[in-house]
């Protein structure tokens, strides 16, 4: 059996950094005309490495490496939705639905980040876009797959 150690960046297996988080939006629905950019997933169930900030809604890479992120949300009834996965100020991927009824969408993506870079989920601003934020339907999580993999 491997020995587990605890260090300032999280729990690891003898020298292997572990970075992982899982957060849920539980403060109520957001949109339309959400002007705050990042969705602030307030209920943090897991934050190994303390790299996810619920006040800003952003994950900041504590070390460079390859990360996997998953964003899941429930589109609000009567609205469309357009969510963007952001690396810093750049769009990495989009999730869009125009069904105008409750619809749950998920996207998983691999992203290379350098130390200090951010990754976050953005609800596009628009009169037609809204996300349901109660009952644990809208979540954001991620983890480090490989540190400094290059």
Q: What is the model's pLDDT at position 2? A: 37
The arrangement of secondary structure in 20-147, i.e. its CATH architecture, is Sandwich (2.60)
Please report, for the chain, the start and end positions of each structural domain, with discontinuous segments joined by +: 20-147
For residue range 50-82, list pLDDT tens digits in order.
999 999 999 999 999 999 999 999 888 888 888
d(Cα 55, Cα 15) in Å, to the nearest integer? 30
* pTM of this structure: 0.85
- What is the structure's pLDDT at 5? 39
pLDDT value, residue 149: 65
pLDDT lower than 50: segments of the chain: 1-9, 11
């Amino acid at each position: 059996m491997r020995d587990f150690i605890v260090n300032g960046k999280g729990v690891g297996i003898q020298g292997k950094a572990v970075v992982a988080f899982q957060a849920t939006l539980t403060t109520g629905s957001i949109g339309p005309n959400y002007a705050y950019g990042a969705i602030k997933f307030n209920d943090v169930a897991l934050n190994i490495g303390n790299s996810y900030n619920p006040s800003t809604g952003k994950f900041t890479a504590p070390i460079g490496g390859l990360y996997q992120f998953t964003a899941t949300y429930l589109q609000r009834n009567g609205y469309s939705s357009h969510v963007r996965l952001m690396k810093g100020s750049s769009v990495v991927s989009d999730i869009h639905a125009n069904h105008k009824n409750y619809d749950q969408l998920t996207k998983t993506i691999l992203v290379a980040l350098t130390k200090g870079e951010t990754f976050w989920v953005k609800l596009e601003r628009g009169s037609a876009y809204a996300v349901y934020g109660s009952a644990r339907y809208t979540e954001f999580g991620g983890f480090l797959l490989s540190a400094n993999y290059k």
